[in-house]
A and B are shown apart, each in its own frame.
Chain A
């Protein structure tokens, strides 16, 4: 007990009457209700997002008979991998999955490699035209895919690069490059320049300082940007279906076959496309806000 408490008890108001207690209970109740309503909204939104995913999961892991049945089951019963196996064994699916991976990996490596020096330059140097370049990159970030895909297809045909996984990867790199540059720039901006200066004072060259001090610290952020590139390329369908015919990526393959195939193929395909993204988003979720926070500036 401190002196303060001793004092306050002396000056304490009249003991709580029943009315006061009732008012207090009501106030407490309202407070609890407010918290509860926030939870209710949060849970409702979570369900709005999760239920459709659950439904497509149910379809992917039900038997093909159940997939075609009506009314449909709301959970896999019996649990079966027949539908997903049927999908994976369908002509062209594994090949297009492989293509999707190749395209996404090339795009990821290429866009990170090209964007890293550019991001570093924007983050660390003051030079003539810096703002113009930044603004230019910012404005092509929202460039419609549809606009680029058609002429690129024509150019690729002319150059004999049409229907190749690498040319689609080049296109996807172009689509993600602006965002990647800005994200990587924001990662570098988040690292104090003093780190590099300190390293240089203690005997590193500029390149060594970058390599030994800055890069290790920037790796998580850069990795997050790379994952974002992967997800974008994995999901992209418009350019994919325009630029490839025999070397389709998974979304292009599924889209092309939509009209020709039954529900088991569609639903298993829908679920199958979902999985890698779910995993990747889980890993980069911490970086999402810092990435976008910087981008808006």
Chain B
């Protein structure tokens, strides 16, 4: 039995009882938080998994396009055609609160001059494989940003779930039993004191009566 180092007084017991109620309420709330976080986390992870599989497959296609392009174009020509980008993709960062975890939300701000005009080069001296490569990569951009968002959210939520789980466990298996044991210990100690003072009073009463009436001499 693990009890706290406290004075066994009635006041202390009342205080501990109040703390126990708070601890129990906190435990229930944290447990609910953990369950809800877990539910959302699993959803997010599944989404992330699908997204990653898709992106990895498509990136493979993209890089094969680039390999094809580099096979028909000279390295110098390829590099120079990709060098000057027309569009500058940026992301607006806002945050979303999932059960007290702040996760980022990325929304892309495309600053390309006009839709469909994604190629940073003229078509005259480049091969069509390069066009394929750039188009497929451009199509992949929204997914890439989404992947970054979900993966970061998963990372942050995993850490929060671990922390919450630790708190729940420490309350459930350490704090609450310790409060209960200490309260029980104080209650027993108080009863014990009560009994001992009662017997002492009875004894004293006997002694006083003996002194006044001398019973043992008469009978």
Task: Report whether chain A binds chain B.
Answer: no
